[in-house]
Amino acid sequence: MSDMFVLSEEHQAIREAVRAVAEAKIAPFAADVDEQARYPKEAAAALLAADFHAPHVPEMYGGAGADALATVLVIEEIARVCVSSSLIPAVNKLGSLPVMIGGDEQIKKTYLSRLAAGEGFSYCLSEPDAGSDAANQKTKAVRDGDDWVLNGVKRWISNAGVSEFYTVLAVTDPDKRTKGISAFVVEKSDEGVSFGAPEKKLGIKGSPTREVYLDNVRIPGDRIIGKEGTGFATAMNTLDHTRVTIAAQAVGVAQGALDYALGYMQERKQFGKKIADFQGLQFMIADMGMKVEAARQLTYAAAGRSERGDKDLTFFGAAAKAFASDTAMQVTTDAVQLLGGYGFTRDYPVERMMRDAKITQIYEGTNQVQRVVMARQLLNGVQSKL
């Protein structure tokens, strides 16, 4: 992908195909998914049937083999109508990318092929005392013969209980700090794995967020991802790539709110004319459109760097995630304002979009953490010289 961000015919076709699925088979259920705080089973079935549930999985493992930009387009278009549903491909990429980055061929073949067939994959990094301080892991993995035995608690795990597989970060050598953390694949069916009650959340209510409990979970030795002690580096590398998918979610929900506000403004009348004719509101909508497009271009630029593995991906991933999510929060809030009292009710989708947008500023690293990441990159001279 060039940095001119002109979508190829193939990428345009992917956008159109995802949009058709999203509007026909996901959007009609979005309000009920939110209201009932239930998993979007209709979206899950539709995405699996269209091979959009985990588009990043390489063709050699039975996946669609989508590049980073195509995956961004899939997530963006789904988030435009239902952010909860967009977490299906987003979390599948987050959970499985450590396997793709650090795993040997056997573990890739075993788990990526099953992911491509429809078994979900979640990511277990966060803990009660390890949120932004991700290195402060307490979960432990101890060798026992050829096996590993895991004990600990993981918190804020997206799609927990639904996914079949979990990338789990655990301490294997407490004396080596981050170089003593390793990554493993844990299966939902493993003895000793259990889940807490679903969190009662402000938004993304259709994506279950639960604690994952590991109580003497014994797994075969070949379920370690890469070499012992490489887990933390793999986890951070993963986030460089997947922050781009969060930016895509943010762009999608912002675009959805903008679309709805534009339609409303051209129908709603006050003082004898359409509210779209009032200059003050035109200024609002202009700012919304400008920021959404800026966020989209930055996200696509980051996707290109993700695909190529550029050295400045860390900066661009953090920048895209922070800028797009801040934009999503502002745009969705402004959409509620443009609808006035109607925007504040559940009869209209923008209040749901506003609630859903908030999480994009928080997960996969708060936007305060993203600014720390960006500052370090700039001070180290890593960012591209433009």
Could you give the residue numbers annotated as active site? 364
Q: What are 273's strand-pairing partners?
A: 270
Token reading at 382: 């890593």
The owner of tokens 């709805």 is: 260
**Burial readout 137-163 (b: 16 or more C-beta within 10 A, e: otherwise):** bebebeeeeebbbbbbbbbbbbbbbbb
Residue 134 phi/psi, 5-degree rounding, is -65, -20
The owner of tokens 């932004």 is: 132
CA–CA dist 257, 54 (Å, integer): 25
Single out the residue of 54, 91, 29 nearest to residue 249, CA to CA: 91
CA–CA dist 111, 150 (Å, integer): 19
Sequence letter at residue 226: G
* Long-range contacts from 173-177, C-beta under 8 angstroms, 24+ separation: 173/228, 173/229, 174/140, 176/229, 177/135
Residue 204 DSSP SS3: coil
Radius of gyration from C-alpha coordinates of the chain = 21
How many CB atoms are closer than 10 A to CB 346? Answer: 10
Residue 232 phi/psi, 5-degree rounding, is -65, -40
* Sign of the alpha-carbon torsion through 331, 334, 339, 341: positive
CA–CA dist 35, 13 (Å, integer): 32
CA–CA dist 69, 66 (Å, integer): 8
